[in-house]
Chains A and B, each alone.
Chain A
Amino acid sequence: MTDIESNPLTGQPAPAEGYVTADGRQIGGVLMDLRNITLRFGGVEAIKNISFDVREGEIRAIIGPNGAGKSSMLNVISGFYVPQEGEVWFKGYKRGPMRPYEVARLGIARTFQNIALFDGMTVLDNIMTGRLNKTKSGFLSQALWWGAAEREEIANREQVERIIDFLEIQNIRKTPVGRLPYGLKKRVELARALAAEPQILLLDEPMAGMNVEEKEDMSRFVLDVNDEFGTTIVLIEHDMGVVMDLSDRVVVMDYGRKIGDGSPDEVRNNQEVIDAYLGVAHD
């Protein structure tokens, strides 16, 4: 596990053995390390030679203006895009090119910017799909509901009910997802991702399009998930205020490049970041 050393390419290398956050949480070693990632679509470079790491237990944000390549970055991590150059290291091993479902099976769950739920299924069924990879018994015993399958299904249900309680969606348990309002859909999507008991949770704009109250709820859930389950979270967000309150370390992207990396305070005072957000003439 030599790569647990701090990565020289990361802007603000955190100490190799982790660090303690302002609110006193212990952050561990490197869980995921992205090295020199470059992603092109034809002639367009969506991500230009970006490196950063994600540490165990932290909330890591990726911010940047529209079209900065944030979602592309998340899609690289979750396997939806395969970068032309660069390496993804996870838990000390280099990851080969993987399909999205293989990444999911590694323990990396995600939500989508535009919500990808199973509209025809109930909330409960949607969340249960998150448990698919935790189900081991054969399909015959599942269909006939006996032995290991029954125990497994009950264990899965218990876990899912815990998550439902946790996210306060008990009263819509049996509602088909298609009928839910936007804010609740976002919450169900988070629940489904949590049901997989991921090691890394990727959230693509979890608060986009929400009103203030919904944003506050969602922020609380993100913090609670990190706190109670110890889940490492990588999130993309537009709203600077939200990001600064939530995250331990922030990567700032602009036009596919990384222009800042560090604690919220460091990022806030970075001139390049200020320029990117307030807008200056590009030459």
Chain B
Amino acid sequence: MDQLFYASEVFINGLMTGVMYSLVALGFVLIFKASGVFNYAQGVMALFAALTLVGIMEGQVPFSHLINATFGTHLSNFSWTVGPVVAILLTAGVMVLLAIVIEKLVLQHLVGQEPIILFMATIGLAYFLEGLGDVMWGADIKTLDVGLPQGISDTIEQATANWFGYGFFIDRLDIWATIIAALLVAALVAFSQYTKQGRAMRAVADDHQAALSVGISLQFIWIMVWSIAGFVALVAGIMWGTKSGVQFSLSLIALKALPVLMLGGFTSIPGAIVGGLIIGVGEKLFEFFVGPMVGGATENWFAYVLALIFLVFRPQGLFGERIIERV
């Protein structure tokens, strides 16, 4: 019986991990749908957003190392700190600014180019942002605390202990991440289905020429989509940064989004969510049941193998659009 409870605890924890994967995958899907660009920099955007958030909250002087080295000064911090809400709003502003700069300096000049060219441009962007984050805020590992509750929830543990005689260990941060992710997705769906800009965004995702002919500015929509993707990156950055510290490895969570996308389909928002949950639950359960037989550490590769198997049987993913070519 205990084994069963333990397995369900693993299952629930898998779901929560999956939510975190979904958050990252969501940013990819948004940009891919609207502009056909696979944005390699999505993970780094999450890192950059988290770094900026910490920097603003702690009142760091941006580029302080650079300034100190050039002018021989000893700047490090302003004399203030900023509350989490204001800091998050400011960081969202920075992400919008970043979207505008990316559109003006990179995307605008590559209109009509092959997808592979745009993909390469985002690789460049990823390295640029990584460097920019380091230069602006320093390369040391930072802790991020925006006031989200952390640690094992005693309430749940005691309640389940009373009901089942087995206390479930569930991280409060994971619960909050799930709630916030659900709200974010609901907001995104409401935005894309019911607003003028959302309708325009779907129109651009479908056909550029037709979108132009009904009076939609592609530039505006791209800036908007990259801003939204920046905001999603910020949310992902907050969750992952709170969980495991703000550091370079944060940008590597983007790699976990890849199998999620293969599973769910690159163009589907529900796909990103369901794909994330399947990967999260799958890798935890696999580690729980099969891990001990093969010496553990299956979480590192399970997601990719699952995605490969999916590619064989359903290349467009669970929710992706099946491409039927008329001959």
Contact = CB atoms under 8 A, between A and B. Distances in A.
A112 B311 CA distance: 36
A135 interface: yes
B3 interface: no
Contact of A145 (B194, B196, B321): B194
A258 interface: no
Interface string B187-204: 100110011111110110
Contacts of B199: 125, 128-129, 132
Interface stretch (A101-109, A221-229, A267-275): A101-109
A139 B215 CA distance: 17
Given A118-B207, A119-B207, A139 B196 contact: yes
Given A116-B209, A121-B202, A196 B214 contact: yes
A143 B194 contact: yes
Given A99-B217, A129-B214, A133-B215, A116 B196 contact: no
Contact of B197 (A110, A130, A139): A139
Given A101-B216, A132-B200, A143 B191 contact: yes
B213 interface: yes
B210 interface: yes
A120 B321 contact: yes
Interface residues of B, number: 26
Interface string A224-246: 00000000000000000000000
A53 B295 CA distance: 81
A199 interface: no
Contact of B206 (A102, A118, A192, A196): A118
Contacts of B187: 143
Interface in B311-327: 321
A72 interface: no
A80 interface: yes
Contact of B210 (A105, A116, A142): A116
Nearest to A139: B195
Contacts of A116: 207, 209-210, 213
A138 to B, nearest CB: 9
Interface in B91-122: none
Interface in A117-149: 117-121, 125, 128-130, 132-133, 135, 137, 139, 142-145
B215 A101 contact: yes
Given A119-B206, A125-B199, A128-B199, A142 B194 contact: yes
B212 interface: yes
A117 B200 CA distance: 13
A65 interface: no
A117 B207 CA distance: 7
The B interface, classified by DSSP as helix, strand, loop or mixed, is helix
A100 interface: yes
Contacts of A144: 190
A116 B202 CA distance: 14
Contacts of B214: 104, 109, 129-130, 132-133, 192, 196
Given A101-B216, A118-B203, A132-B214, A143 B209 contact: no
Interface in B46-77: none
A47 B218 CA distance: 27
Interface string B16-46: 0000000000000000000000000000000
B326 to A, nearest CB: 11
Given A118-B207, A125-B199, A110 B213 contact: yes
A129 B203 contact: yes
A78 interface: yes
B212 A104 contact: yes
A104 B210 contact: no
Contacts of B198: 139, 143
Contacts of A142: 194-196
A133 B198 CA distance: 13
A221 to B, nearest CB: 19
A180 B202 CA distance: 19
A125 B209 CA distance: 17
A116 to B, nearest CB: 4
A173 B22 CA distance: 33
Contacts of B197: 139
Contacts of B200: 129, 132
A118 B191 CA distance: 18
B202 A118 contact: yes
A264 to B, nearest CB: 28
A109 B210 CA distance: 11
A143 B198 CA distance: 9
A129 B205 CA distance: 13
B212 A132 contact: no
B215 A105 contact: yes
A139 B199 CA distance: 11
Given A101-B216, A118-B211, A196-B215, 14 more contacts: A80-B209, A99-B217, A104-B213, A104-B214, A109-B213, A116-B210, A118-B203, A118-B207, A119-B207, A130-B214, A132-B200, A143-B198, A145-B194, A193-B213
26 contacts: A100-B213, A101-B215, A101-B216, A101-B217, A104-B215, A109-B213, A112-B209, A112-B210, A116-B207, A116-B213, A118-B203, A118-B207, A118-B210, A119-B207, A120-B206, A128-B199, A129-B199, A129-B200, A129-B214, A129-B216, A132-B215, A132-B216, A137-B196, A139-B198, A143-B194, A144-B190
Lowest 4 CB-CB distances: which A-B pairs, in order?
Answer: A104-B215, A116-B210, A118-B206, A100-B212
